[in-house]
């Protein structure tokens, strides 16, 4: 009988542990709205029964609100997974059609981060009833069944760009890159707390007005400490392999290695 050194067996078990642990974290998730297929286990549609919730074009996903059938004034995507720890979330966009609203809080693009039942953050690029184009950052806090927004606004100078939200420890930072700008500009910092995000919503939003708005979503990029299960498996990581595929391969490799050891021991 040929003996396998105990050190080799320990190495096999260590390899198995390292490989199997690869399902714990999904560090980066990128979704190209121009080419990616609809992922019903990763997203759900908001404001419409259509899936995807818009029209896929060469430039991205064109969202239109209000929805023709439901008449909902917010149409877009909501994630089905949660996000834990520090994160960076970036949404690329182009305003395709926007009209001065007659009422409401503004029409355009809205990004929402839902953390707890009593707290959320909003980041929007919209046109207001006075015709001004604005970038708005807001913390919404619910006290005694009433929501109170803490809003700050600055002028928007371009119809395209990227909105970025970054959490580090308990601080949330709002940043924007408009037009052909090469670097992000910080707009605001707020205390946001360390609790996991329950979901993220990205929408074309008329702000309650009935005039149509069209927003082209180009790309969603997320970097996070950890992306957690909810109604769906973990989102796809940066490589083409999903975390579940990696885990399955890891288990298969471990079984083969252990089988090889047992075979050698019985010779």
CATH of the domain at 64: 2.60.120.200
Beta strands in 18-81 (DSSP E): 28-32, 43-46, 55-56, 61-65, 74-79
pLDDT value of residue 18: 34
**Are 102 and 175 members of one domain?**
yes
What the block records as the tokens of 237 is 């990581």
**Are 36 and 6 members of one domain?**
no
The boundaries of the domain holding residue 15 are 1-26+237-267
Counting as low any pLDDT under 70, the low residues of the chain are: 1-26, 229-267
pLDDT value of residue 110: 98
Nearest to 160 by CA among 121, 79, 214, 104: 214
145 dihedral zone (left: phi>0; alpha: psi -120 to 50; beta): left
Question: Count of domains in the chain?
Answer: 2
- What one-character DSSP code corresponds to residue 23? G
Q: Is 129 helix (H, G, I), strand (E, B) or coil?
A: coil
**Are 180 and 218 members of one domain?**
yes
**Are 162 and 253 members of one domain?**
no
Nearest to 50 by CA among 62, 32, 35: 62
Per DSSP, what are the bridge partners of residue 87? Answer: 167, 224
**Are 12 and 48 members of one domain?**
no
**Are 92 and 196 members of one domain?**
yes
13-21 contact pairs (CB < 8 A, 24+): 15/253, 15/254, 15/257, 16/250, 16/253, 16/254, 16/257, 19/246, 19/249, 19/250, 19/253, 19/254, 20/247, 20/250, 20/251, 20/254
pLDDT value of residue 247: 56
**Are 166 and 138 members of one domain?**
yes
**Are 87 and 57 members of one domain?**
yes
Per DSSP, what are the bridge partners of residue 122? Answer: 112, 138
pLDDT in tens, 130-142: 999 999 999 988 8
**Are 51 and 150 members of one domain?**
yes
**Are 128 and 205 members of one domain?**
yes
Contacts of 221 (CB under 8 A, 6+ apart): 28, 29, 30, 31, 88, 89, 90
- What one-character DSSP code corresponds to residue 2? P
Q: Counting Cβ atoms within 10 Å, is residue 217 exposed (0-12), middle (13-18) or buried (19+)? A: buried
**Are 115 and 216 members of one domain?**
yes
**Are 210 and 254 members of one domain?**
no
pLDDT in tens, 194-214: 999 999 999 999 999 999 999
């Amino acid at each position: 009988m040929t003996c396998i050194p105990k050190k080799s067996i320990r190495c096999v078990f260590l390899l198995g542990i390292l490989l199997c642990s690869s399902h714990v974290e999904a560090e980066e998730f990128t979704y190209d709205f121009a080419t990616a297929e609809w992922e019903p286990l990763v997203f759900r549609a908001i404001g419409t029964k259509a899936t995807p919730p818009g029209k896929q074009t060469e430039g991205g996903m064109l969202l239109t609100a209000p929805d023709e059938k439901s008449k909902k004034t917010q149409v877009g995507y909501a994630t089905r997974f949660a996000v834990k720890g520090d994160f960076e979330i970036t949404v690329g966009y182009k305003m395709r059609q926007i009209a001065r609203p007659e009422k409401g809080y503004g029409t355009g693009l809205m990004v929402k981060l839902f953390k707890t039942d009593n707290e959320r953050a909003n980041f929007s690029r919209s046109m207001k009833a006075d015709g001004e184009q604005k970038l708005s950052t807001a913390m919404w806090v619910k006290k005694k069944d009433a929501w109170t927004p803490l809003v700050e606004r600055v002028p928007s100078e371009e119809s395209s760009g990227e909105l970025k939200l970054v959490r580090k420890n308990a601080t949330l930072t709002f940043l924007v890159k408009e037009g052909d700008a090469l670097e992000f500009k910080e707009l605001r910092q707020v205390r946001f707390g360390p609790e996991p995000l329950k979901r993220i919503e990205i929408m074309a939003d008329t702000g309650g007005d009935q005039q149509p708005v069209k927003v082209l979503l180009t790309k969603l990029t997320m970097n996070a400490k950890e992306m957690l299960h909810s109604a769906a498996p973990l989102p796809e990581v940066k490589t083409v392999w999903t975390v579940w595929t990696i885990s399955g391969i890891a288990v298969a490799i471990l079984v083969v290695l252990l089988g090889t050891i047992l075979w050698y021991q019985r010779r």
